[in-house]
Amino acid sequence: MRGTVIRRYKGSYSIVLDLGYAVDAATGKRKRQQKWITFRGTKKQAEQHCNDLVGKANRKEFVEPSKMTVGEWLDHWLDVACKPPRRRPRTYETYRSTVDQHLKPGLGHLRLQELQAMHIERYHAERTHLSAGTRQLHQAVLTTALKSAVKARLLYRSVAADVEGKPHPHRTADDVIANCWTAEEARAFLAATKTEPLQTRTFFALALDTGARKGELHGIRWDDIDLDTGTLRIVRQLEDPGKVRRREHAGTKTEPAFGPTKTKRARTVDLGPDTIRLLREHKRAQAELKMQNRTTYRDYGLVFAREVRETKNLMGELGMPLPTSTLGGIVFKRLIAAAGVKRITFHGLRHTCATLLLNVGEPIKVVSERLGHTNVMITMNTYAHVMPGMQKAAATRLGALLHGEAANG
């Protein structure tokens, strides 16, 4: 590899990198390859820059100079690498929102090849009003995008790895406890649902019984449930509920999109008798609704689907998946207020299920499988606040086995 500096006019030089020869695919002949790079400065500076580029090329570190900005690359990366089906629709929407609302306003004006770790550090320092979890998401999106820029030969290396003080949310036992109900609060909440429509009562009973994620609940089909054996197989989650388009193509409908669970693993959970009873009643009521609206009901076999009250007079929406913001958002908040219990997030129902099971002595392996965690260590780390009580109960039971009644004295 060789380099030459050619003066164009005062203060401007062309650095010519001789990249050797390559065979032209069209003609089959060897063709000389050169790269011309404009440099502004003194001749000495141009020669030094030329030497640096030659050294990088010899070390296989050379990337072609580009004026592309961080914002331009992020848009390109989203379109090429993140749009469905490459990523899940919900993942793409999250990435797009993060890029448009945060990363582009904060870093998008910088040239991609001039981005430094200190720029990213300043970005995080200016956003301390956001939660650590949100800033960690921003860092993760940016890191993934920069890795793709390296693969595309726009960067030699990613500066994201050099960032100091990366945001890391530290979830403590207090955080889980704050987002979790006691048994009394859970009962009060379920009591508040008794004045609600049957589908709503069934939805929240199943959520507390199984600890399933919101998207998983919305993706359950009747084929996944065996009411005779009282088991539910969780195999998918709702990613995009679909909708009726109301503008230039009024009346046309998009199809709902389903995908695998978060861990891409299916699991089977046993259901309690009260939940099974509600499911039976709900199935009968839904079957009647289908018969009454047989020409307009869009049957996807879903357990939780739009009923008349959710269609806003658009009967073509009957049977479509419920928006995840309805029962798990608006209705959930209203029921919390009606029950007079501590306000938690919908994900807190999952924490409540796990904590209550562990408190009554269920093996942590069983709870982990019920929640669909990839390994039991995730369960142990998340619910460490329950472990001390379990250890004490285990010691008492072991003492009774080893020493008889004396252990209880």
94 or 35: which leads in pLDDT: 94
pLDDT over threshold 50, residue 382: yes
pLDDT over threshold 80, residue 300: yes
Q: What percent of the chain has pLDDT over 90?
A: 52
In CATH terms, 70-162 corresponds, of 1.10.730.10, 3.30.2270.10, 3.40.640.10, 1.10.150.130, to 1.10.150.130
Q: What is the model's pLDDT at position 36?
A: 80
Torsion on CA atoms 19, 24, 29, 33, rounded to nearest 10: -20
**Long-range contacts, stretch 268-272, CB < 8 angstroms, 24+ apart:** 268/231, 268/232, 268/233, 268/234, 269/210, 269/212, 269/231, 269/232, 269/234, 269/370, 270/230, 270/231, 271/206, 271/209, 271/210, 271/230, 271/231, 271/232, 272/209, 272/230
Q: What is the model's pLDDT at position 97?
A: 94
Mean pLDDT calculated for residue range 372-400: 79
Strand partners, 244: 253
Q: CB-based contacts of 366: which residues, under 8 Å, 6+ apart?
A: 357
pLDDT over threshold 90, residue 316: no
Closest by CA to 1, choosing from 44, 59, 42, 48, is 59
Query: How many other β-carbons are positioned within 10 Å of the β-carbon of residue 292?
Result: 11
Confidence band, pLDDT 50/70/90 cuts, at residue 246: very low
pLDDT over threshold 70, residue 389: no
Q: What is the model's pLDDT at position 245?
A: 47
Instruction: Please state, rounded to an integer, the average pLDDT across all residues of the chain.
Output: 87
pLDDT over threshold 80, residue 404: no
Supply the pTM of this predicted model: 0.70
In the chain, the amino acid numbered 246 is R
In CATH terms, 177-243+256-388 corresponds, of 1.10.3810.10, 1.10.443.10, 3.30.360.10, 1.10.10.60, to 1.10.443.10
Q: Which phi and psi angles does 19 have, rounded to 5°? A: -95, 10
pLDDT over threshold 80, residue 311: no
Q: What is the model's pLDDT at position 62?
A: 64
pLDDT over threshold 70, residue 250: no
pLDDT over threshold 70, residue 323: yes
pLDDT over threshold 70, residue 390: no
179 or 312: which leads in pLDDT: 179
Q: What is the model's pLDDT at position 409?
A: 46
Please state at what angle helix 132-151 crosses helix 70-77, rounded to 10 degrees: 90
Q: What is the model's pLDDT at position 248?
A: 41
- Convert 127-138 to b/e letters by CB count within 10 Å (16 or more is b): eeeeeeeebbbb
Q: How far apart are CA 111 and CA 63, in angstroms?
A: 14
Q: What pLDDT digit, counting tens, does each position of 35-93 carry?
A: 788 888 898 888 888 888 787 777 666 667 788 999 999 999 999 999 988 888 888 99
58, 1 contact by CB (below 8 A): yes
Q: What pLDDT digit, counting tens, does each position of 189-232 carry?
A: 999 999 999 999 999 999 999 999 999 999 999 999 999 999 99
Q: What is the model's pLDDT at position 157?
A: 82
pLDDT over threshold 90, residue 348: yes
CATH fold match for the domains 70-162 and 177-243+256-388: no
Q: What pLDDT digit, counting tens, does each position of 131-179 carry?
A: 888 999 999 999 999 999 988 888 878 999 899 988 887 666 677 888 9
Mean pLDDT calculated for residue range 297-301: 93
Confidence band, pLDDT 50/70/90 cuts, at residue 123: very high
Mean pLDDT calculated for residue range 242-264: 69
Q: Where are the domains of the chain?
A: 2-58, 70-162, 177-243+256-388
103 or 152: which leads in pLDDT: 103
Give the HSE-up count for residue 124: Cα atoms under 13 Å, Cβ half-sphere: 22
Q: What is the model's pLDDT at position 30?
A: 85
Q: How far apart are CA 220 and CA 68, in angstroms?
A: 45
Beta strands in 186-338 (DSSP E): 225-226, 231-234, 237-240, 257-259, 267-270
Least confident residue range of 192-196, 279-283, 324-328? 324-328
pLDDT over threshold 90, residue 23: no
